[in-house]
Structure 1
Amino acid sequence: MQTVFIALDFTDKQRAWDFLEQFPAEERPAVKIGMELFYREGPEFVKAVKDAGFTVFLDLKLYDIPNTVEHAVANLARLDLDYLTVHTAGGVEMMQAAVRGAEQGAQAVGATAPKLLGITQLTSFSEATMQATQLVQATMAESVTHLAKLADEAGLAGTISSAFESEMIHNATRDGFLSITPGIRLQGDAVGDQSRVVTPARARQMTADGIVVGRSITQAAEPVQAYRQVVQEFTQGA
């Protein structure tokens, strides 16, 4: 797997569709729909994007007691999602409940269960911020590796983390366990609110299986061309 997900960080569905409609019918990229857009436009928008031929990654970072997460995931899986995120900090039992919910919801509509990805540490966190916020002494590498192992144990498809942790995650988990990495920018683009940022080519070298790219594509003068450049760099190197 070497997938580029475009983060649809738009305020409403009209702006999102204005962006998506620039892509030709034969070129439907994978897209990530996050909290901002989902909470405004709801499940109907997600289903419409899926029906239009796009691969859909719904990034809601679910985190609650196991029973609540199981039922939430079951409802979301009825949308025929491709990927969905939960927080690994919820623990193995919560993640296992999410896996059950994904299977139940997908079966109810004759769909394939979404691949569940566990959030480890946010890429906006530096190691010092993580330690201070979570009152831990573990290094970023130790924390992410531990959480990835829990996600693997629970049966998740992979994790979300910085590309800096991808190789460690692969070394600590089963073959085929995915490392999907946000915090990606094209060379020369502004870092913004991210602390651990790499280029698509560098993420490839660091063994990332997939990358999430937002502003470098969505705010580019020629978004489709920028997307193709990202794909080229990630799949074939700079």
Structure 2
Amino acid sequence: MSLSTPMPPASGAAAERIIVALDRPDAPSALALVASIPDLRWVKVGLELFCSAGPDVVRQLRDQGLRVFLDLKFHDIPATMAGACRSAARLGAELITVHACAGHDGLAAAQAGALEGAAQEPLDAPTLLAVTVLTSWEEARFRAELAVEESTALYVPRLAALAVAAGIGGAVCAPQEAAELRRVHPEPFVLVTPGVRPAGAPVGDQRRVMGPAAALSAGASRLVIGRPITAAADPAAAFAACCAELSILEL
């Protein structure tokens, strides 16, 4: 179905599975994008928007009834990770990213900080997501530049297992890695996959990509989709088209 064809409203189940990346330079443009997609449920606030708009943009999005994935990829010493996740949880973000390669102590401290921050408000505790290997990495360049001898097929599960041991509730991985991680770590462990591209969409700077339905079938819990929706002439239609692709699955 082309985006020029009128799309039916997105089903609630499919819309819950898609996180739209608000990669915008400021709060007004991000909020305008949100307003243009009536069926939107989840949004991702990344580094660009957060550095421009500050923490208040998370509250503004929540005030509009949206669920927020705060993707700041915390990676520091344990005390700093704990403090950052404590503050992030107090904002009401439901998903928060930390780098798995921070190690067990950093991840455990981040988890404890998030629980403490949510309890201070009080809010439901967020789910921390351990970032494994960014989807922009190609295998050969990953090994050469980082001097990692393991393939990503082995390295990603290693980092996911480290996160589980530290009490982290989910991971971020490429779609191609979701099936193996889901086999080892069943629900309720959360798997969020960026690098999702509908058929015909430009790949951009992503390297390990997959279509929406295939990624969900592989075991992903939620899909992060940015430019195929946000750069479309009609973002609402692009979002509905992604939801329609997921409607063939039993959600």
Q: TM exceeds 0.5?
A: yes
List runs of 5+ in structure 1 lacking aligned partners.
Answer: none
In 2, Cα distance between equivalents of 1:48 and 1:173: 34
Q: What's the offset of the Cα at 1:70?
A: 0.3
Q: What's the offset of the Cα at 1:45?
A: 1.0
In 1, Cα distance between equivalents of 2:73 and 2:187: 24
Aligned to 2:71: 59
2:35 to 14, 21, 26: 21
Higher alpha-carbon deviation: 222-231 or 74-83: 222-231
Aligned to 2:138: 126
Secondary structure of the corresponding residue to residue 179 of structure 1: strand
In 2, Cα distance between equivalents of 1:236 and 1:31: 23
Amino acid at match of 2:213: A
1:210 to 216, 222, 233: 222
Q: What is the TM-score of this pair, normalised by structure 1? A: 0.95
2:238 to 217, 226, 229: 226
Please tell me whether residue 91 in structure 1 is matched to residue 100 in structure 2. Answer: no
2:205 to 193, 212, 218: 193
1:203 and 1:234 in contact (8 A); partners too: no
Alignment of 1:67-146 (within 5 A): 67-146=79-158
List runs of 5+ in structure 2 lacking aligned partners.
Answer: 1-12
Aligned pairs, number: 235
In 1, Cα distance between equivalents of 2:135 and 2:89: 26
What do residues 48-101 of structure 1 show as CA deviations (whole Å, max 9, x unaligned)? 111110010000000001011001111111101111000000011111111110
Q: What's the offset of the Cα at 1:172?
A: 2.4
1:66 and 1:97 in contact (8 A); partners too: yes
In 1, Cα distance between equivalents of 2:247 and 2:41: 14
Q: What is the TM-score of this pair, normalised by structure 2? A: 0.90
Amino acid at match of 2:24: F
Please tell me whether residue 37 in structure 1 is matched to residue 55 in structure 2. Answer: no
Q: What's the offset of the Cα at 1:154?
A: 1.1
1:76 and 1:105 in contact (8 A); partners too: yes
In 1, Cα distance between equivalents of 2:111 and 2:54: 22
In 2, Cα distance between equivalents of 1:179 and 1:134: 24
Q: What's the offset of the Cα at 1:128?
A: 1.1
In 2, Cα distance between equivalents of 1:94 and 1:135: 22
Please tell me whether residue 170 in structure 1 is matched to residue 170 in structure 2. Answer: no
Amino acid at match of 2:46: G
Amino acid at match of 1:37: L
Cα root mean square deviation, aligned: 1.4
Please tell me whether residue 184 in structure 1 is matched to residue 189 in structure 2. Answer: no
- Shift in alpha-carbon separation, 1:80–1:36, aligned structure 2, 3 A: same
